[in-house]
């Protein structure tokens, strides 16, 4: 029997029956454990096979899946060795701040449920039936939003990161500047000019948003590695097992996000978009150009800005240590140099655009 390609929103939001819920630092969270004690992500009863089926269909049609190059992934700053050094010297604030910001940023993933999806059937030359694209607003975005920020009486990734932080660092004081760091730098000025005015703004905005979230989700792999390295280290963590496991559960939950986003974007890439003036443009040209632009920003401008922003703050925290200058030297010695790749892998289409 061929795999099902069409799902209802209820199906895409449905979860397995679990033997035990996930309780994170006293907070009931989504997901839980099966009878064998394995963690099972929420809302994956139909979502996981659905994504596999859409990917298989794409492959049968002769199209590959879009790949975000892992070499483009910028490292966390401070790196795990630097963060542990600070913790060993009692300087906890930078890590608490970073973990809190990560938890809030995860929660903001819920904004995806508010993305305006235009009438896609009208915008493509080829049919869209039985694709991930037709399920974005009927289950996929909503499932993504619920995973990130929690829903009703269950916590999501925001609360799970908080639990990892609070159990590993024993309910630390949250620095008062956390929200200012999030809100302090807003996108200035007018809306950026469209890259492809010919396809209409609603479609470009939706695709740009999805491509950006995909890059963030792929790059989060580095954050998971970093978080697990630090919080599961018994030398610096009060609850190494609990905190490490918590991050691994989040990591498992994120997989469907990466997969449905790259599937939907690949479906666009494999199709032809109708322009507002009655012409057409290859979907690949649009997706590659958007990916190139986002990767350029995510690998070049953003990490450097974030690093500069954090360095000043770190130096301030280090000054509170017993031997600040020695600690600063040791901290700097642990720095791992990183340079962004010269190419994003999506240049050809960018040049054509």
Partner 1 sequence: MRVIRIIRSLQIGWTAARVWSMYKIPHWSKKLRGRELSASEWSVIHERAAQKTLDLALGLRGVMIKMCQAVATRADIFPPEIIDKLKQCHDAVPPKSFEIVRKIVESELGKSMDAVFSSFDPQPLASASLAQVHRARLVDGREVAVKVQYPDIETIIRTDLANMRRVCRVYEFFDPRPLPLLPLLSELTRHLGMELDFVREADCADRVRELFVDDPQVKIPAIHREWSTRRVLTMELVGGIKITEKKKIEAVGLVPAEVLQNLMYIYVRMILAAGFFQADPHPGNLFVSPTGQIVVLDFGLSKELPEGFGLGLFELMFSLMTFNESAMVRAFDELGFRSKTGDKTTFVAIARRMVNRSDTGAFEGELTEDMTDELFEAIREDPVAEVPSDFVLVARVFSLLSGIAHSLGSRANILQAMSGGGPAPSLES
**Tokens 């991050």 correspond to what residue?**
247
Residue 174 in the binding site for partner 1 (CB under 8 A): yes
Q: How far is the CB of 64 from partner 1 (least distance, A)?
A: 24
Give backbone dihedrals phi and psi of 3, rounded to 5 degrees, phi first.
-65, 150
* Residue 160 burial by Cβ neighbours in a 10 Å radius (0-12, 13-18, 19+): buried
Nearer to partner 1, 182 or 321 (CB): 182
Contact residue for partner 1 among 2, 37, 192, 279 (CB under 8 A): 192
Residue 183 in the binding site for partner 1 (CB under 8 A): yes
Contact residue for partner 1 among 17, 122, 152, 351 (CB under 8 A): 152
**Backbone Cα Rg of the chain:** 22
Contact residue for partner 1 among 56, 180, 315, 352 (CB under 8 A): 180
**Would you say 263 and 54 are in contact if contact means Cβ atoms under 8 Å apart?**
yes
**Would you say 238 and 163 are in contact if contact means Cβ atoms under 8 Å apart?**
no
Contact residue for partner 1 among 149, 232, 237, 269 (CB under 8 A): 149
Options 67-75, 110-118, 271-279, 321-329: segment touching partner 1 (CB under 8 A): 110-118
Residue 190 in the binding site for partner 1 (CB under 8 A): yes
DSSP category for residue 270: T
Residue 200 in the binding site for partner 1 (CB under 8 A): no
3-state SS class at 273: strand
Residue 2 CB neighbour total at 10 angstroms: 8
Residue 279 in the binding site for partner 1 (CB under 8 A): no
Q: How far is the CB of 291 from partner 1 (least distance, A)?
A: 11
Residue 108 in the binding site for partner 1 (CB under 8 A): yes
Contact residue for partner 1 among 32, 94, 139, 208 (CB under 8 A): 208
Residue 230 in the binding site for partner 1 (CB under 8 A): no
Residue 93 in the binding site for partner 1 (CB under 8 A): no
DSSP category for residue 148: H
Identify the bridge partners of residue 282 per DSSP, sorted by sequence position. Answer: 272
Options 50-58, 155-163, 164-172, 333-341: segment touching partner 1 (CB under 8 A): 155-163
CA–CA separation, 227 vs 244, rounded Å?
8
**Would you say 281 and 200 are in contact if contact means Cβ atoms under 8 Å apart?**
no
Q: How far is the CB of 154 from partner 1 (least distance, A)?
A: 7
Residue 188 in the binding site for partner 1 (CB under 8 A): yes
**Would you say 333 and 110 are in contact if contact means Cβ atoms under 8 Å apart?**
no
Non-local (6+) Cβ contacts of 139 within 8 A are: 7, 8, 9, 10, 11, 12, 13, 47
Residue 191 in the binding site for partner 1 (CB under 8 A): yes
Options 49-57, 208-216, 229-237, 342-350: segment touching partner 1 (CB under 8 A): 208-216
Count residues contacting partner 1 (CB under 8 A)? 46
Residue 302 in the binding site for partner 1 (CB under 8 A): no
Helix (H) or strand (E) holding 73: none
Residue 107 in the binding site for partner 1 (CB under 8 A): yes
Nearer to partner 1, 71 or 191 (CB): 191
3-state SS class at 98: helix
Options 55-63, 67-75, 178-186, 231-239: segment touching partner 1 (CB under 8 A): 178-186
Nearer to partner 1, 82 or 100 (CB): 100
Q: If you write DSSP's letter for every residue of 154-220 in order, what string do you get?
A: BB-HHHHHHHHHHHHTTSPPPPTTHHHHHHSSPPPSSPPPPS-GGG-HHHHHHHHHHHHHHHHHHHH
Residue 312 in the binding site for partner 1 (CB under 8 A): no
Contacts with partner 1, residue ranges (CB under 8 A): 27-28, 104, 107-108, 110-111, 113-116, 142, 145-146, 149-156, 158-159, 174, 176, 178-180, 182-192, 205, 208-209, 211-212, 294
């Amino acid at each position: 029997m061929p795999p099902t390609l069409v799902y209802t929103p209820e199906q895409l939001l449905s979860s397995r029956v679990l033997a035990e819920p996930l309780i994170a630092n006293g907070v009931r969270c989504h997901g839980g454990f099966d009878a064998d004690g394995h963690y099972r992500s929420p809302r994956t009863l139909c979502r996981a096979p659905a994504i596999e089926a859409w990917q298989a269909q794409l492959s049968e049609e002769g199209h590959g899946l879009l790949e975000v190059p892992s070499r483009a992934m910028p490292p966390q700053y401070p790196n795990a060795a630097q963060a542990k050094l600070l913790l060993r010297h009692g300087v906890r604030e930078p890590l608490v701040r970073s973990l809190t910001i990560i938890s809030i940023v995860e929660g903001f993933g819920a904004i995806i449920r508010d993305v305006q999806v235009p009438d896609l059937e009208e915008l493509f030359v080829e049919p869209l039936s039985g694709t991930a694209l037709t399920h974005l607003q009927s289950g996929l975005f909503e499932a993504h939003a619920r995973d990130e920020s929690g829903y009703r009486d269950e916590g999501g990734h925001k609360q799970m990161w908080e639990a990892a932080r609070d159990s590993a660092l024993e309910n630390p004081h949250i620095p008062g500047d956390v929200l200012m760091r999030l809100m302090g730098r807003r996108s200035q000025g007018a809306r950026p000019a469209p890259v492809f005015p010919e396809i209409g703004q609603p479609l470009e905005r939706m695709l740009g948003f999805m491509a950006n979230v995909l890059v963030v989700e792929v790059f989060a792999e580095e954050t998971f590695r970093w978080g697990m390295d630090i919080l599961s280290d018994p030398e610096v963590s009060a609850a190494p097992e609990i905190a490490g496991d918590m991050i691994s559960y989040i990591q498992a939950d994120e997989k469907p996000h990466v997969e449905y986003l790259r599937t939907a974007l690949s479906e666009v890439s494999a199709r032809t978009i109708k322009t507002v003036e009655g012409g057409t443009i290859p979907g690949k040209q649009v997706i590659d150009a958007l990916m190139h632009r986002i990767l350029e920003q995510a690998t070049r401008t953003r990490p450097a800005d974030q690093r500069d922003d954090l360095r000043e703050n770190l130096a301030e925290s280090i000054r509170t240590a017993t031997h600040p200058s020695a600690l600063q030297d040791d901290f700097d010695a642990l720095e791992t140099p990183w340079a962004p790749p010269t190419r994003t892998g999506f240049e050809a289409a960018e040049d054509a655009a």
